[in-house]
């Protein structure tokens, strides 16, 4: 039986992506009869999803990526008799990862190619990672790169896309401190074309109240949801998904929804451009008056059946949903080899 300890967090300044893609891998471990533990530095509403999976969740406050964090993580790994430590987060530097890997098999989930740790495995699942980062990870035992290794949760693999005419989904991830979601809502109204939108707001309380007031003023246009929420039920009924970069547009593409990506950070841009070059997404950036451009692109695609169908076909062709299962097979093989 494979025993895996995950070290990941979410919340303000971090977002939800690290914790949720680890959950996808945890599901695959459990499907193979393994045991899952999660070590976190802060409490999270998302931990209930781990507990539903049967994971042991331990929250011990400490500075992320600190020496105390390393000591706590290693002690937890020993107590759990973990075969593997999986680490996901930008707060863990190369020295931290090297020290963790000295004690046991360690998998580092990375996005930026700026760390080169001496771990057993590095996973960079971003679109086009095999092209950009083929020589970035020289010290690890093996680097797994690109969408063949994308960690897609069961809820996405089992969902069936049944889009409702004229429906959008707007989501900017687990952290929206500048309340850009309100700007998207206002821009959609200003455009004048027909739409109905599910809106997932992760803005702070004051920002959420602003979005709530706008949604209440236009109840025929907006259904507002307070993040975090389970996205698959909302996305399965959306014809077009407006999101930041990262995992969400890939999840949309896997389902057959048409992604419109508003790039919110430089590290999101290469993956978004890869999806656009493949014909699976439309992309804009904040520097390009992105709020207005994203809503314009979304409404263009929403009202173009042929464009949506072409994007859906190309998106589904990029992701087969087997990445997590393949990764668990590699982890089990490496455990058996010692």
CATH number where 34 lies? 3.40.50.11190
Phi, psi of 144, rounded to the nearest 5 degrees = -110, 115
Same domain, 86 and 178: no
Number of domains composing the chain: 2
Same domain, 127 and 191: no
- Per-residue pLDDT, 289: 79
- Per-residue pLDDT, 267: 87
Domain of residue 175, CATH code: 3.40.50.2000
Give the span between the Cα atoms of 139 and 119, in whole angstroms.
7
Long-range contacts of 60-65 (CB under 8 A, 24+ apart): 64/9, 64/89, 64/91, 64/92, 65/89, 65/91, 65/92, 65/93, 65/96
Give the span between the Cα atoms of 174 and 10, in whole angstroms.
8
Rounded to 5°, angle at Cα 243 from 155 and 305: 85
Same domain, 104 and 197: no
Q: Is the pLDDT of residue 40 over 80?
A: yes
C-alpha pair distances (Å), 190 with each of 60, 183, 241, 287, 289: 47, 10, 19, 20, 15
In which domain, by residue range, is 309 found? 159-316
Average the pLDDT over each of 62-71, 124-133, 174-183, 285-294 and give the range with the smallest value: 285-294
Contacting residues for 226 by C-beta, under 8 A, at least 6 apart:
200, 201, 208
Mean pLDDT, the chain, rounded, equals 96
Task: Give 15's pLDDT tier (boundaries 50, 70, 90).
Answer: confident
Please check whether residue 113 is in contact with residue 133, taking contact to mean a CB–CB distance below 8 angstroms: yes
- Per-residue pLDDT, 17: 85
Give the span between the Cα atoms of 137 and 218, in whole angstroms.
50
* Interval 111-125 mean pLDDT: 97
Same domain, 166 and 306: yes
In eight-state DSSP terms, residue 196 is: E
Same domain, 172 and 84: no
Q: Is the dihedral of CA 161, 162, 168, 171 positive or negative?
A: negative
Same domain, 107 and 7: yes
Q: Nearest CA to 319 among 173, 137, 159, 134?
A: 159
Helix, strand or coil for residue 169? strand
Same domain, 61 and 95: yes
Same domain, 57 and 22: yes
- Per-residue pLDDT, 301: 98
Same domain, 136 and 99: yes
120-169 pLDDT, tens digit per residue, is: 999 999 999 999 999 999 999 999 999 999 999 999 999 999 999 999 99
* Interval 277-296 mean pLDDT: 93
Q: Is the pLDDT of residue 13 over 80?
A: no
Same domain, 68 and 188: no
* Interval 72-85 mean pLDDT: 98
Q: Is the dihedral of CA 183, 184, 185, 187 positive or negative?
A: positive
- Per-residue pLDDT, 175: 85
Same domain, 298 and 325: no
| Total H helices, total E strands in the chain | 14, 13
Same domain, 303 and 181: yes
Q: Is the dihedral of CA 159, 187, 264, 11 positive or negative?
A: negative
188-222 pLDDT, tens digit per residue, is: 999 999 999 999 999 999 999 999 999 999 999 99
């Amino acid at each position: 039986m494979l025993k895996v300890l995950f070290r990941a967090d979410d919340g303000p300044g971090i977002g939800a992506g690290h914790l949720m893609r680890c959950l996808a891998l945890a599901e695959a471990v459990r499907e193979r009869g393994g045991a899952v533990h999660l070590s976190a530095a802060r409490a999270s509403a998302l931990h209930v999803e781990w507990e539903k999976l049967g994971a042991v969740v331990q929250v011990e406050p400490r500075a992320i990526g600190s020496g105390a964090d390393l000591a706590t993580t290693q002690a937890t790994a020993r107590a759990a008799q973990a075969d593997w430590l999986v680490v996901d987060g930008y707060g863990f530097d190369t020295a931290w990862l090297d020290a963790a890997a000295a004690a046991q098999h360690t998998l580092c989930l990375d996005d930026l190619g700026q760390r080169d740790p001496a771990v057993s495995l590095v996973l960079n699942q971003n679109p086009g990672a095999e092209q950009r980062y083929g020589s970035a990870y020289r010290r690890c035992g093996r680097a797994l790169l690109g969408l063949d290794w994308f960690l897609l949760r069961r809820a996405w693999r089992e969902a069936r896309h049944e889009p409702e005419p004229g429906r959008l989904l707007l989501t900017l991830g687990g952290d929206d401190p500048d309340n850009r979601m309100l700007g998207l809502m206002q821009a959609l109204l200003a455009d004048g074309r027909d739409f109905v939108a599910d809106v997932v707001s992760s803005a702070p309380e004051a920002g959420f109240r602003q979005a709530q007031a706008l949604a209440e003023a236009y109840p025929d246009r907006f259904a507002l949801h307070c993040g975090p929420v389970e996205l698959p039920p909302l996305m399965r009924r959306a014809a077009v998904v407006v999101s930041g970069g990262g995992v969400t547009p890939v999840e949309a593409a896997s389902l057959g929804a048409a992604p419109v990506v508003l790039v919110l950070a430089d590290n999101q841009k290469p993956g978004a451009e890869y999806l656009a070059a493949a014909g699976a997404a439309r992309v804009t950036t904040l520097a390009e008056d992105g709020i207005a451009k994203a809503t314009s692109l979304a409404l263009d695609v929403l009202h173009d059946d042929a464009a949506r169908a072409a994007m859906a076909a190309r998106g589904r062709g990029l992701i087969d949903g087997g990445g997590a299962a393949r990764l668990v097979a590699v982890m089990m093989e490496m455990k058996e080899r010692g």
